[in-house]
Amino acid sequence: IQKCDIRELTCTTIAGQANAVRGTNMSYLNGPTYVYIDSNDNLYIADSDNYRVQFWSYGASYGTTIAGITGSSGSALNQFSIPYGITLDSNSNAVYIADYNNHRVMKYLSSSSSGTVAAGGNGFGTNNT
């Protein structure tokens, strides 16, 4: 993940490794698709090809997996099949994560090892129910 200063025309790697190096350990990312930045400049990263969401404290050199299982795709309540979008409810500290291939939105509470289905989960469709 790069942070760029458009006035200075410079970019700095703030999460993951430079030069597109991919991996599964806590300082690497593999196909990050979405970044949520909270009010303290901490990062929540959908690390899609590692099937996890990572939390990177501001200035950290590695992240912590807060949802999903590294390298394990699936449909269990502690797994993702391409985590894609993230938002945070600051009132409840719940993290909502779009699980693209499972057609659902998962809700994770802080320090929970598995989530609950907040929406969807019944396969691809266009119905409102």
Dist CA 39 CA 93 (whole Å):
13
In a domain, 108, yes or no: yes
Asked, for residue 66, whether it belongs to a domain, the answer is: yes
What CATH number is associated with residue 40? 2.40.10.500
* Average of per-residue pLDDT across 61-70: 91
- C-alpha closest to that of 116 among 83, 71, 78: 78
- 48 lies in which domain range? 30-120
Q: Which two tokens stand for residue 10?
A: 């410079």
Residue 95 · residue 107 · CB < 8 Å: yes
Confirm whether 22 is domain-assigned.
no
Residue 129 pLDDT more than 60? no
* Tokens representing residue 76 in the block: 């269990």
CB neighbours (10 Å) of residue 50?
Answer: 27
pLDDT tens digits for range 80-91? 999 999 999 988
Question: Has residue 18 been placed in a domain?
Answer: no
Domain count, the chain: 1
Residue 117 host element (H or E): strand 116-120
Residue 25 has pLDDT above 60, yes or no: yes
Name the 3-class secondary structure at 49.
Answer: helix
Q: Is residue 54 part of a domain?
A: yes
Question: Residue 126 domain-assigned?
Answer: no
- CA distance linking residue 63 with residue 17, whole number of Å: 12
Tens digit of pLDDT for each residue in 106-127? 999 988 889 999 998 766 666 6
Residue with tokens 């690390």: 47
